[in-house]
Amino acid sequence: MMRNKMMLLTLVIAFICNGCSIDDDDANFHFTALEIVNAEVPESFILNETYKISVNYLKPDSCTYYEGFDVVKDSLTVRSVVAIGAVRTDIDDCMVELIQETASFNFQVIYTEPYTFKFYKGDNSDGEAEYMEIVVPVNKP
């Protein structure tokens, strides 16, 4: 049993040490915040329940791919939500068009105070981030 574990560990280390060699160290993408156009959240939460929150966001072109959400806890019950995209920089012929897509994340309610969600809507003309705020009250079970 111990010998099998040692062999497995040796194989894993060998694979890590002999990984793919890529001559070009430059990244072929960068991350960007995607504009959220609306979000579907319940009218109220129940304490200790988990909810699916659906979000509609815009991709600016065909070279931008959805990667996930960045949900930041600003305070006890305030969450900033940003849809994250990866922009391919190694493709020259991106079709520039707004593409609306939907994604979701699960959210567990662990506090009794109302939750405030701040969904990133994009930057204003001064370059400052703007948010769509939705407040959801919490009911005890």
List the domains of the chain with CATH numbers.
Answer: 27-139 (2.60.40)
**pLDDT for res 58:** 97
Tell me the pLDDT tens digit for each residue of 38-63. Answer: 999 999 999 999 999 999 999 999 99
**pLDDT for res 92:** 83
Give the percent of the chain with pLDDT over 70.
Answer: 82
Residue 7 — φ and ψ, nearest 5°? Answer: -65, -40
Give which of 82, 83, 73, 70 is closest to 115, Cα–Cα.
73
Retrieve residue 131's tokens. Answer: 């948010």
Instruction: Tell me how far apart the alpha carbons of residues 134 and 43 are, in angstroms, rounded to a whole number.
Output: 10
Distances (CA, A) of 73 to 9, 34, 70, 115: 38, 19, 10, 11
Retrieve residue 111's tokens. Answer: 């506090």
**pLDDT for res 28:** 87
Tell me the pLDDT tens digit for each residue of 74-117. Answer: 999 999 999 999 999 888 888 989 999 999 999 999 999 999 99
Q: Sorting pLDDT into bands at 50, 70 and 90, what band is 141?
A: confident
**pLDDT for res 140:** 81
pTM of the entire predicted model:
0.78
Instruction: Tell me how far apart the alpha carbons of residues 56 and 60 are, in angstroms, rounded to a whole number.
Output: 13
Q: How many helices (H) and strands (E) does the chain have?
A: 1, 9
Q: Does position 25 have pLDDT exceeding 60, yes or no?
A: yes
Do 90 and 65 touch, CB atoms closer than 8 A? no
How do 96-108 and 50-61 pair as beta strands?
antiparallel
| Mean of pLDDT over the chain | 88
Give residue 140's Cα distance to chain centre.
29
Report the phi/psi class of residue 75: left, alpha or beta, with left for phi > 0 and alpha for psi in -120 to 50.
Answer: beta
Q: Does position 6 have pLDDT exceeding 60, yes or no?
A: no
